Structure 1
Amino acid sequence: MRKITKIGIAGTGLIGKGLAYEIEKQTEMELAKVLTRRDLSTMEGYPFPNVLTNDVKELTESCDLIVECSGDVIYGTEVIDKAINASLPVITMNAELQVTTGSYFARRGFITEAEGDQPGCLAALHENVVQMGFKPLVYGNIKGFLKLDPNPEDMVYWSKRNGVRLDMTTSFTDGTKVQIEQALVANGLGAGIAEDGLLAPASDDLNETGAELAEEAKRLNHAICEFVLAPKAPPGVFITAEHDPRQKDTLRYYKMGEGPYYTLLQNYHLCHLEIVKTIKRVINGGGVLLNNGESPKFSVAAIAKNGLQPGEKIDKGIGSFQVRGEAVDMTSNNNHVPIGLLVDAVIKQSVEAGKVVTFEDVELPDSLALRAWQETMQEKTVVTK
């Protein structure tokens, strides 16, 4: 008899709810528990009310595998800690958490980002193209719009129109989300970045831009993670790669171009609909698709959008109108504050617009996430000595 795997979900937003629908249709899975911070009496519209719980312990004791998709770094870290301590495998759709505390958990148990969001899709595409003999040079993320300091009125409008939280809408628009995604890919796939903040070229032709980025990767002597501003391109991911020169004529015949660089495009990412693929991967012993690695090289620093003043409070950095995130090399930015830790933070000294927020600039409340980051930095220091 086929084993039924009991799946738990942490999160009841767009991703969590959509995933619950998909798990319910699977024959080898059972939707066991769904963790929410919301008052259960207000959840009449949730499609599976019998599985809802506010108790993390009930979640971990009821499930064989946990999918964390709360979109919250601090809370998600607490939940995953309980799951790892219970020896449960954890799948995330939470790149923000992965680049902040994912390495802490990668040293302790099984954690992987899911296919569906751009990092997981790039990791899956990486597996595919490498199996075909390609050597990736560029891990590309496609973005249609970027405004580093969007105004609140526009963000409220688009948030309501798209049914997506205001902070998420803002982090998509100001580039924080894509910077987080590409830092995660760099750490997880052993690639690098061309410069802090990424190059972010505009593109009307992915093949042409991919080739230009590949030239930069060759100059740097390592693969790079980048994003392109391409409003006319599909909302997917791409890899630009080299191949054995002996395959050049065949690749031309296959309509891949003249080479020596070939761009392979996945023209979609379907978020929660694709998480099921990663669940099945883990159930069947497929291993980690992508995580932040045990000793990351890249992080996402908080950059002041406008001047920050002493006493100013930042309720949540990701998606705020005070700071945005940029992918940075951790070695040359060893005192930066990861934007995922800026929650209920108070500015201690002035920070000029465009400057990186450091630990001297801000007071942070104690949290497992903060302690996890501090341990990761200590581990990194030991490794590099």
Structure 2
Amino acid sequence: MDAKRIGIVGTGFIARGLILALAEHADLKVSKVLTRRKLHECPNFPGQEKLTNDVDDLIEHSDLIVECSGDVIHGTEVIHKLLTASLPVVTMNAEFHVTTGSYFVNKGFVTEAEGDQPGCLAILKENAVSMGFKPLVYGNVKGFLNHTPEWNDMKYWAKKHGISLRMVTAFTDGTKIEIEQALVANGLNADIAEVGLLGIPSNDINTGALVLADKAKVNGYPISDYLLIPRSPASVFIVAEHHENQREALKYFKLGDGPYYTLTSSFHLCHLEIIKTIRRVFSGGGILLNNGVLPAVGVASIAKRTLNPGDKIEDGIGSFDVRGKACHIRNHIGHVPIGLLKNAVVKRRIAPGQLIHFDDIEIPESLALTAWIEIERSVRLQSRT
């Protein structure tokens, strides 16, 4: 049997790791890798001969595409072309999903992968529900948070870990976890407890998880949130209830006295786990996670510093000008999703901590912008009914 041809969009940390991992699987092979870089500028890229700047070349030589560019504007354009060509798309791009992913839900097959926190929570939910658990909390664990990190510190950590300055900054200032938990809320039929999430400090998962469970129970709906636990492993967790007739068994299984039970996954291995989702798709397993047709939660742009008319924001995610904050779309109509904030020019003064609206900036036209306008319009119409 011929190996399935896997195309990849992106040439960053995830793409490199995935290419190396796929080399160990005889039934899967990397066919083409789409990059916006000039090909001669990637001399150390694994499988350099597979690089292309042509999306049609990628489409022609692929049976499935993994999109892991981390770029909303570019990712939206490329995924539109891939779905038009009827190719299945597996993403590791939560930024894409929470910004424009809902636009594509009924336009083809696109799913987030296992490996990053949202996909790992989705598979943990599948397992939990199959055992009869009823989730109350979809939780993420963050070890460190600084809403306004310094450039020199971020440059040091980017070099130390071998990832981009932009991504290190987005991890540190909380933007990334707000994006991840917004996708989890939309995709797993949950909600957020408040704008910006609770982000409860805790010494361990079990203690903090119970606090979140109490909050969810009082609110009357499952919530997507996180705990701030210094030096914790990279973990995700679900807090759930179960039928009273299983209480003694669950106690014997070391899950405690109830009524809340915490199920934990103490790792997420990014590109190594994408392969599980690729196989899921080829075996007909269906979509693992998307943002839903009508999302409730978006990630707004919040100013980190005073922004003055004429200031240019090159990229919102991983910026030293703004950060992301989860919010209810229906309550913040007109806000600028941080995934759209690219090559934007400030039109009027924006104070630190202020939520940025489209009236505050000029932003280039793009398919991503068109998609968001349609999504927001659908949410606004739904909220009126």
Report the TM range for the smaller structure's normalisation: over 0.9
**1:28 deviation in Å?**
2.2
**1:4 deviation in Å?**
2.9
Q: Which runs of 5+ in 2 are unaligned?
A: none
- Tell me the residue number matched to 1:380: 379
Q: Give distance in 2, aligned partners of 1:23 and 1:177.
A: 26
Q: Give distance in 2, aligned partners of 1:52 and 1:95.
A: 24
Q: Give distance in 2, aligned partners of 1:11 and 1:280.
A: 20
- Tell me the residue number matched to 2:347: 348
- Tell me the residue number matched to 1:104: 103
Matched-pair contact (CA < 8 Å) for 1:204–1:232: no
Q: Give distance in 2, aligned partners of 1:153 and 1:131.
A: 47
1:161 equivalenced with 2:147 (yes/no): no
Q: Which runs of 5+ in 1 are unaligned?
A: none
* 1:215-230 aligned within 5 A: 215-230=214-229
Matched-pair contact (CA < 8 Å) for 1:316–1:342: yes
**1:49 deviation in Å?**
2.0
- Tell me the residue number matched to 1:137: 136
Write out per-residue CA displacement over residues 217-258 of structure 1, whole angstroms, 9 at most, x where no aligned residue: 011111000011001321110011111111111111111111
**1:3 deviation in Å?**
5.3
- Tell me the residue number matched to 2:235: 236
Which shows bigger deviation, 174-183 or 249-258?
249-258
Q: Give distance in 1, aligned partners of 2:364 and 2:42.
A: 30
Q: How many residues align?
A: 384
- Tell me the residue number matched to 1:46: 45
- RMSD of the alignment, in Å? 1.0
Q: Give distance in 2, aligned partners of 1:43 and 1:189.
A: 38
Q: Give distance in 2, aligned partners of 1:85 and 1:30.
A: 23
Q: Give distance in 2, aligned partners of 1:38 and 1:3.
A: 30
Q: Give distance in 2, aligned partners of 1:155 and 1:261.
A: 38
The residue matched to 1:331 in structure 2 has which SS? helix
Q: Give distance in 1, aligned partners of 2:382 and 2:26.
A: 45
1:16 equivalenced with 2:12 (yes/no): no
**1:42 deviation in Å?**
2.4
**1:87 deviation in Å?**
0.7
Q: Give distance in 1, aligned partners of 2:40 and 2:232.
A: 43
Matched-pair contact (CA < 8 Å) for 2:330–2:379: no
* One-letter identity of the residue aligned with 1:186: A
- Tell me the residue number matched to 2:290: 291
The residue matched to 2:310 in structure 1 has which SS? coil
* 1:28-43 aligned within 5 A: 28-43=27-42
Write out per-residue CA displacement over residues 81-101 of structure 1, whole angstroms, 9 at most, x where no aligned residue: 110110111111011111111
The residue matched to 1:57 in structure 2 has which SS? helix
Matched-pair contact (CA < 8 Å) for 2:187–2:291: yes
- Tell me the residue number matched to 1:70: 69
**1:48 deviation in Å?**
1.0
1:177 equivalenced with 2:176 (yes/no): yes
1:210 equivalenced with 2:212 (yes/no): no
Write out per-residue CA displacement over residues 143-163 of structure 1, whole angstroms, 9 at most, x where no aligned residue: 000001111111111111111
Write out per-residue CA displacement over residues 260-304 of structure 1, whole angstroms, 9 at most, x where no aligned residue: 101111000100000000000001000010011111110000001
Q: Give distance in 2, aligned partners of 1:75 and 1:179.
A: 21
Q: Give distance in 1, aligned partners of 2:228 and 2:16.
A: 30
Matched-pair contact (CA < 8 Å) for 2:333–2:380: no
- Tell me the residue number matched to 1:58: 57
